[in-house]
Amino acid sequence: MKQTDAGEAVESEYRGKGWPCMILASILLLVSSCGTESVYALGVGLANFVYTDKIPTDYLAEQASGKECNLLKSIEDGGPMCRDSFERQIIEKPIYCYRTLGQPTCYATPDPYGTGAERIR
């Protein structure tokens, strides 16, 4: 709290916003202070997360289910945690192109004007 010239106590506007980060940093420091092996394990775990976007529990779930698991992606898209594949499939609609004067003209439906033109694509 800060004191103003009038003697009123005013709370700082930043109070409480940095506490979750400080608590997490303290816990990580305490865990890593158990020895050099835990520092290495923490570094490997963070590097693996950055590279694969998977947390350690994802690997356990993969072993148990036999499918590909990713908690962060399931939270992002609202789907199940374990799936056969996380690859997105892009399905394109067919395009129908016909020769016209100048440049080819393309439509979403085959020959929409019934001109009998030959499809070029």
Answer yes or no: are the C-beta atoms of 49 and 55 closer than 8 Å: yes
What is the per-residue burial (b if ≥16 Cβ within 10 Å, else e) of 72-99?
ebbeeeeeebbeeeeeeeeeeeeebebe
**Could you list the residue range(s) of the whole structural domain that residue 17 is in?**
1-52
5 and 33 part of one domain: yes
Does the pLDDT of residue 118 top 70, yes or no?
yes
Give the total number of structural domains in the chain: 3
97 and 85 part of one domain: no
30 and 40 part of one domain: yes
What percent of the chain has a predicted confidence (pLDDT) above 90? Answer: 4
Q: pLDDT for 6-17, tens place per residue?
A: 555 555 444 555
19's enclosing H/E stretch is helix 19-32
83 and 103 part of one domain: no
57 and 45 part of one domain: no
61 and 82 part of one domain: yes
